[in-house]
Amino acid sequence: MKSYLIAAAILAGVAARAFAGECPALIQKAGDELKAATLDEAAMIKVMDRIALGKTQHDEGKHDESVATLNDALQLLGV
């Protein structure tokens, strides 16, 4: 039983690091797409705010929220 609990704890740690690694890639992708985008000023501000929020969430360790926020930014960019 102990070995199952240890394995579950290790798996949870690996999964958390996987999400943590996804955030920087999404931040980079959103930034690159933003540079190439032809959005009006209001839409551009909204996307920049979503990217900034996603970075803040990542820095705070809220990786699930960060991924969702950054995917929202990418969706606004039409990606």
**Residue that is written with structure tokens 């551009």 in the block:** 44
> What does the pLDDT look like over 36-76, one tens digit per residue?
999 999 999 999 999 999 999 999 999 999 999 999 999 99
Contact present, 29 and 78 (Cβ < 8 Å): no
> What does the pLDDT look like over 5-24, one tens digit per residue?
554 555 444 444 445 689 99
What's the half-sphere exposure (Cβ side, CA atoms, 13 Å) at 65? 12
Query: What pLDDT shows up at residue 10?
Result: 56
Instruction: In whole angstroms, give the CA distance from residue 8 to residue 47.
Output: 37
